[in-house]
Structure 1
């Protein structure tokens, strides 16, 4: 079975017209309303919690034949240039206001991270890279390969593009090849060893296309989307002492703080599906009484099911980056090229002011002090003289490496019963030695790219790689102490400069919290469909696979429902 896709089979002109038409109308969805407009009580066949990367395609698919309520705690992405325009990518990550589509959280590891709070989820905030999971990943998970292909293609018709390859990204590509990350695989969505140009959700004009655009596939008569609707808990009913709890509704509050209830219509096959992400999904399960008994009872949460694995096996792919100042101007670009190594690291790059301005904002906050959830101490950064200014004329770019997997895992715990607050998350970066060695090899590969002939025009020859490592230590994206030997020891450099690339996953994994059909173990009428179910992050960027999974599971749920109906008819 072929899982790959290099070019769309549809004519390019038709695809462009299709996507332009969809995008023009996406901001005028008739089925999208603010939760303050919702009735006190409502009824649907399916209730989906989380209008993100998985929730949007799932809602669009299920609405074809059923009534669907999609609850999103954030607002709309449309009309916000920080979301829609590539040039303003970093502004959302720097925005810490209550209305920001990005909700910052600090892991117990001391690494600054973010979770989406907007219709479209992480696809509204990320660097846009679009690439599929490998065929091996698809087989290991046990997905239907043909349906996976169809689901990827359904997504790609709407949101995936070939990026323009300008000078800096071309130099990274050629530098990777010089560094031995071969073969060259050209432009492809496929995940394969070597160097390739991947897809992007930014079109040729630099406009972002998100999972929210996939709602154009929806049946407008079958879907209701409520914005600024924060779900506090899932409601369960139990008819007898031995009966399994059945999910039958949710409680949510709107922007004014008014509570609403939504229930499933009568029918054995109607369900609630949680798509709140790797942080939000385990958090909501625990708030609803599905989780470790001791932990829930410590917060006075009534236990519905003692499920000790909820919130466990949390992982975040560690990222480490080196900034390379350039003697010549560079384009503003996000991730376009990737080197997929055989030792378990992915090498990518971004240039211009986008990443730099995000770093500059974090640096400013750290300079004036930031509270550490890990120790309660105030960390300050004083020696910032080597930091380049973040401006539209920023010259240079970051070359980064991301650990595949990873093998190191942590856990998530509730801090309180407020669904608006972040839970406590620990990722345990580099706990497993193999992850650290992959980082070291990744940094060594980045050094080869920087020293390559192809990249020579974009680096100052008199700046050594050790000096670049020392400069990277002055771009703090974590609250960890820095060590004097970090520019000489790559192991210490990896530990001191660890960052996130926002690919965290786990907490509701298949085989632990949900079964192979993503049904929550121990209860009925409840599934989880998002990155919290992943054991490993798929591909070099998971967003394509999360969007695919939303479509895939929508089709699977419809098929399962139809087969059940057919069986009932045969028996009658």
Structure 2
């Protein structure tokens, strides 16, 4: 059961932030404007250059193409080449893939937690557990967004990629358990962020096909957009124009899959821009590689400083997540996140169930840890004692398929923040990322309250038929401590202290954000402060994670800002592009 438990947890835990309105059988050919970067000419010119064809970049580029010529440079491949690969049945295997053609690039934070960056057209929406839920009204107002345009932008996304989930037995039981223990009121099926228990949307259709941000390219004007795959941007180019004191972005250098360098320039027009949509890891990393960041840090790597900007890479955060696995005497459906309990104390409770697990998972998880550890210089956690613990767990609950589910809690915010730094000047390499999980004691308090809620749900009448009567919750906690889910040390008192349990067993829910904080790196229009013709539009600009799951809001933001930018382009007589 150890390897099965590991596989089940790692599969489910990708719910995140980290495809298709058309049938998968013909969508790749429908997008004639999506091509390999090896086919790109040596020099290109466009009105907008979007770096990153991810969860924000795809809706942004599709919208901009309605009024301008747009180039999208995506470092990964296409999710449409093998439709079965992104079906819900292969959710686990896609996550575990660390081959050069995989959709994710694993990394281990300095906190000792395994994480991943998307590298595929559609970004994290190609990898995640599919849950779709909007940000709260308070988050929208605090972000300075126009509420009417935000609502319209959400609906624009939802028409293509979002569905109501089927809600079978496991998800229904957890929903009823949440209501039984007081996570009230019941808000039924809704995309809105409301305190209580609700059913959210999903980007999986009733056949298990995944629909993602890449599908939003269906909105694009095919005559005005070009998307190049396996196009890794090396740096953004800057110049100084006569009469302007600030550097101005005017082009990029990118490398194709064969290592050939290409250059893309902005057309000569004061309205044209380069837009970074490379995500919370990629956007600050590429700003630094291009000379925008803390001067001393850049100089230490031999990078010419364009702008000394000490906030680049700062205030990066990842919502800590902790879990309990619930083995069941009854078979349960295959489900990812559908039910969520939005508590008043700041924890979100989510669940998944019934993933089919292959016998190779323990070995593959070990390979991931050791592969990334070798790259980062961090030691592997797979000691002989750990392997023996997993083997003991296998004997304890041996079954070729995990019957049961897991229940997780994610804290809001979080208040704890960290930073990102370059390791090398190679854009393919992961930077060094520190999230500082639970540095703020309030985060730890919320985690403990969340774990108490999970325990209450497991003990509820609603979930009783899915429980082994002689397997206590304490036994489940003890069993979790046997599994080497991260590289952090384990403490014997973790079994008796929920605080220590939270610290020792913390995992990512793949909802990291920050690194280009608002009002410090970007202004209220997402323009990079101190330079011209450059914006950042993605989750790196979020001051905290939006609601239970960020993907809805990341996609919305791409559409929202695309509308703002293109409208400004046509009505440039206005004095301000203000977001309000």
TM-score grouping bracket, smaller chain normalisation:
over 0.9
Which residue pairs with 1:437 in the alignment?
A: 445
Q: CA deviation at 1:355?
A: 8.2
- Helix, strand or coil at the partner of 1:455: helix
Quote the residue 1:26 is aligned against: 27
Task: Give 3-state SS (helix, strand or coil) of 1:561's partner.
Answer: helix
514, 522, 525: which one pairs with 2:533?
525
1:352 aligns with 354
Give the SS at the match of 2:77: coil
Aligned to 2:505: 497
Question: Displacement, 1:356?
Answer: 9.0
CA distance in 1, matches of 2:291, 2:343: 42
Question: Secondary structure of 1:59's partner?
Answer: helix
Distance 2:462 2:204 in 1: 26
CA contact (8 A) 1:90 1:358 kept: no
Cα RMSD of the aligned pairs, angstroms, is 2.1
Cα distance, 1:334 vs structure 2: 0.4
Taking the TM superposition and a 5 Å limit, the aligned residue runs for 1:42-441 are 42-81=44-83, 83-240=85-242, 243-353=245-355, 360=362, 363-365=365-367, 371=373, 376-380=378-382, 381-382=386-387, 383-384=389-390, 385-387=392-394, 393-441=401-449
Return 480-489 or 148-157, whichever deviates more.
480-489
Give the deviation of 1:326 after TM superposition. 0.4
- For residues 105 and 369 of structure 2, the distance between their equivalents in structure 1, rounded to whole angstroms, comes to 21
For 2:397 and 2:248, locate their aligned partners in 1 and report how far apart those are by CA, in whole Å.
56
Aligned with 2:457: secondary structure? helix
CA distance in 1, matches of 2:530, 2:75: 27
- Give the conservation status (yes or no) of the 8 Å contact 1:244–1:522: yes
Cα distance in 1 between the residues matched to 2:546 and 2:357: 23
- Mark the runs of 5 or more structure 1 residues left unpaired by the alignment: 1-18
How many Å separate the matches in 2 of 1:520 and 1:106? 28
Partner of 2:7: none
Q: Structure 1 CA distance, aligned partners of 2:138 and 2:557?
A: 16
Bigger mean CA offset, 305-314 vs 384-393: 384-393
CA–CA distance in 1 between the matches of 2:91 and 2:216?
Answer: 21
User: What is residue 7 of structure 1 aligned with on the other side?
Assistant: none
Matched-pair contact (CA < 8 Å) for 1:370–1:379:
no
**Which of residues 538, 542, 547 is equivalent to 2:550?**
542
Q: d(CA) in 1 for partners of 2:542 and 2:381?
A: 34
Q: 1:553 to 1:389 in 2, by over 3 A?
A: farther
Cα contact 2:107–2:372 (8 A) shared by 1: no
Per-residue CA shift, 1:357-389, capped at 9, x if unaligned? 897456544898973788743422231111477
In structure 1, how many angstroms separate the alpha carbons of the residues matched to 2:444 and 2:409?
12
1:174 aligns to what SS in structure 2?
Answer: helix
SS at match of 1:202: coil
Tell me if the contact between 1:317 and 1:403 (Cα under 8 Å) persists in the aligned partners. Answer: yes
**1:367 and 1:254 mapped to 2: Cα distance?**
28
**Residues 367 and 50 of structure 1: CA distance in aligned 2, closer, same or farther (over 3 Å):** closer
**Which secondary structure does the structure 2 equivalent of 1:491 belong to?**
helix
TM value normalised by structure 2: 0.91
How big is the shift at 1:243? 1.6
C-alpha spacing 1:21/1:277, structure 2 compared with 1 (3 Å)? closer
CA distance in 1, matches of 2:241, 2:23: 46
Offset of 1:150 from its aligned partner? 0.4
Q: 2-side partners of 1:78 and 1:278: how far apart?
A: 24
CA contact (8 A) 1:130 1:160 kept: yes
- The equivalent of 1:5 in structure 2 is none
Displacement of 1:91:
1.2
* Secondary structure of the structure 1 residue equivalent to 2:393: coil
Distance 1:100 1:198, change over 3 A: same
CA deviation string 1:542-572 (max 9, x = no partner): 000000000000000012222215779xxxx
CA 1:237–1:355 in structure 2 vs 1: closer, same or farther (change >3 Å)? farther
Partners of 1:421 and 1:544 in 2: how far apart? 28
Give 1:554's aligned residue.
562
Match of 1:105, SS state, is strand
Deviations 1:375-428 (A, max 9, x none): 743422231111477976321111000011000000000001000010000000
Q: Deviations over 1:267-324 (max 9, x none)?
A: 0000000000000000000000000000000000000000000000010000101011
TM-score, with normalisation over the residues of structure 1?
Answer: 0.93
For the residues of structure 2 that align with 1:367 and 1:560, how far apart are their CA atoms?
47
The aligned counterpart of 1:456 is 464
- Cα gap change, 1:389/1:264 in structure 2, threshold over 3 Å: closer, same or farther? farther
Which structure exhibits the higher relative contact order, with contacts defined as CA atoms closer than 8 Å and separated by 6 or more residues?
2
SS in structure 2 opposite 1:350?
strand
Task: Answer with 393-402 or 443-452: which moved more.
Answer: 393-402
Structure 2: unaligned runs, 5 residues or longer: 1-19
In 2: Cα distance, 1:132 partner to 1:439 partner: 22
Conserved 8 A contact 2:369-2:380: no
Comparing 380-389 with 395-404, which one deviates more in the overlay?
Answer: 380-389
Query: Is the contact between residue 21 and residue 215 of structure 2 (CA under 8 Å) also seen in structure 1?
Result: no
Give 1:506's match in structure 2, choosing from 514, 527, 532. 514
CA contact (8 A) 1:520 1:526 kept: yes
